[in-house]
C-alpha cells in the first residue's frame, strides 16, 4: 500500500498528514506535487489543509484546476480512497467530487480549537474503527468551514447516509445541519473540516484521529488481502 500526500502551493498541513501516515499507518508515503500527472502508484490519496493558491478567488477554486486534480478525479472513479481535510475538503467541493460549497464562518472569525464531533456513520472506509454516534475530539482551524448545500442535496446526503461527522454541541462555523464531514455515495471520497492528523498522539491533546487512519488501513487490507507493504 502506498499513500500520496498532495502538495499545492500554499498547503501547510502536508507535513502533519505525512507524519500521521508514517506514525499510525506505517506504510510508504510520498509527497506529490500538484503538477504531477500520474497517480497510478498510489492506493490512498490525501489532500491536506492549508491555503492553496492563497485561497484566491475562493478556497480551493484555483487548486481544483491543478494537473493533479484530474488524476485525483480518475482515482476517485477507480474507487481509490481519497481524503480531503480542511482546504482539501474545500478543493473536493470545488472539484465536484463532493456536493455543496463552503461559505465564510457565520461568526466571520477564524476558529482554531479542539471540538467534539459525532461519528454519524461508521460504515465508511474512513470510520470503520469508530463506534456509531461516538463523540470524538478533533481540532479545527478554519475561517471558511460553513458547509452549505441546497435542500435537495441535503435530503440526498441524509438518505444516502453521506453525513459522516457532525459538530456536537456548539457549531463553530454555522454549517448546515452541523455538518463537519461528508462522503460521496460510493463512500470512497471523504471531506472534513476538522484535522484528524492533528490528533494522533496523546501529547496533541487527543489521539482520536488515529482511528481514521487505522480505518483506512483496515479497509484497504480487507479489500486487498493482508499484503500491506506490497
Tally the residues of the chain. Answer: 230
* Binding range to another protein, per CB under 8 A, among 18-26, 36-44, 56-64, 155-163: 56-64
- Please list every residue from 82 through 101 that binds another protein, using CB under 8 A: 93-94, 99-101
- 146 counts as binding another protein under rule CB under 8 A: yes
CB 167 within 8 A of CB 117: yes
d(CA 162, CA 181): 9
Q: Is 174 in the site for another protein (CB under 8 A)?
A: yes
With binding defined as CB under 8 A, does residue 54 bind another protein?
Answer: no
107 binds another protein (CB under 8 A): yes
Catalytic residue among 59, 86, 149, 183: 86
Contacting range for another protein; rule: CB under 8 A; set: 10-18, 47-55, 58-66, 125-133: 58-66
Q: Does 135 help bind another protein (rule: CB under 8 A)?
A: no
Question: Residues binding another protein: what is the number (CB under 8 A)?
Answer: 21
State the cell numbers at 187: 463512500
Reply yes or no on whether 197 is catalytic: yes
228 binds another protein (CB under 8 A): no
CB of 180 to another protein, least distance (A): 18
Rounded CA separation 209/13 (Å): 15
Catalytic residues, by residue number, are 86, 195, 197
Amino acid at each position: 500500500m502506498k499513500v500520496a500526500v498532495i502538495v499545492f502551493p500554499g498547503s501547510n498541513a502536508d507535513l502533519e498528514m505525512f507524519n500521521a501516515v508514517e506514525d499510525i499507518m506505517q506504510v510508504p508515503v510520498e509527497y506529490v506535487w500538484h503538477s504531477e500527472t500520474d497517480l497510478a502508484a498510489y492506493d490512498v490519496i490525501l489532500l491536506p489543509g492549508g491555503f492553496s493558491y492563497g485561497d484566491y478567488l475562493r478556497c480551493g477554486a484555483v487548486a481544483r484546476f491543478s494537473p493533479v486534480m484530474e488524476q485525483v478525479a480518475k482515482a476517485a472513479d477507480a474507487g481509490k480512497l481519497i481524503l480531503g481535510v480542511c482546504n482539501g475538503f474545500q478543493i473536493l467541493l470545488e472539484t465536484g467530487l463532493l456536493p455543496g460549497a463552503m461559505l465564510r464562518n457565520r461568526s466571520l472569525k477564524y476558529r482554531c480549537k479542539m471540538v467534539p464531533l459525532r461519528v454519524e456513520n461508521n460504515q465508511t472506509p474512513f470510520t470503520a474503527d469508530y463506534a456509531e454516534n461516538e463523540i470524538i475530539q478533533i481540532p479545527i482551524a478554519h475561517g471558511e468551514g460553513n458547509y452549505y448545500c441546497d435542500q435537495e442535496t441535503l435530503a440526498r446526503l441524509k438518505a444516502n447516509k453521506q453525513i459522516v461527522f457532525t459538530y456536537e454541541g456548539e457549531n463553530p462555523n454555522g454549517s448546515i445541519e452541523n455538518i463537519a464531514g461528508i462522503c460521496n455515495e460510493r463512500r470512497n471520497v471523504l471531506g472534513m473540516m476538522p484535522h484528524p492528523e492533528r490528533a494522533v498522539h496523546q501529547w496533541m491533546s487527543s489521539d482520536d484521529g488515529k482511528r481514521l487512519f487505522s480505518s483506512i488501513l483496515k479497509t484497504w487490507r480487507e479489500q486487498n488481502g493482508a499484503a500491506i507493504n506490497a
